[in-house]
Amino acid sequence: MEDEISSIIIDNGSGICKAGFAGDDYPNIVIPSIVGFPRNQVRPAGLLRQEHSYVGDETQESRDILNLVYPMEHGIVTNWDDMEKIWHQTFKKLNVASEKYPVMLTETPLNPKLIREKMTQVSSGRRNIQALDQHPKLLIRKEQVRLQEF
């Protein structure tokens, strides 16, 4: 299946992350944009250890015993390490290697330049994404509606 993929689309959201393949009518996966850490993972200094985490749907079953973290607020990434965990889970559920295909990430309108640059840095550095494009969600939706009119 990987040989047929032209690019991967990831729609980052404060509440949910949707992802799929370019040309598909609907996202292949939809996961909550949540990362959870067991409450009992505390160091003597009181700092939360992040050795084991639950991502997306995994947090739902154990949410009563987890400290939940939402790595995006109002469409802006506020916790890059945890956003990275969501992206990792996204590629895992899509069953593709992030470095093999171009990726398009959605972003909130008027996304600050610093956040956009950081997203590019994290995506290309840590995830080893070779080709990355970022577009505002509204622009993508407008193009989708235009194409459906034909």
Domain segments of the chain: what residues? Answer: 2-31+72-148
> Which CATH number applies to 2-31+72-148?
3.30.420.40
**Structural tokens at position 50:** 């992040």
Instruction: Supply the pTM of this predicted model.
Output: 0.75
What are the backbone angles phi and psi of residue 41, rounded to the nearest 5°? -85, 80
103, 129 Cβ separation under 8 angstroms: yes
Task: Express each pLDDT in 27-82 by its tens digit.
Answer: 899 999 999 988 876 544 444 445 688 899 888 888 888 889 999 888 888 898 89
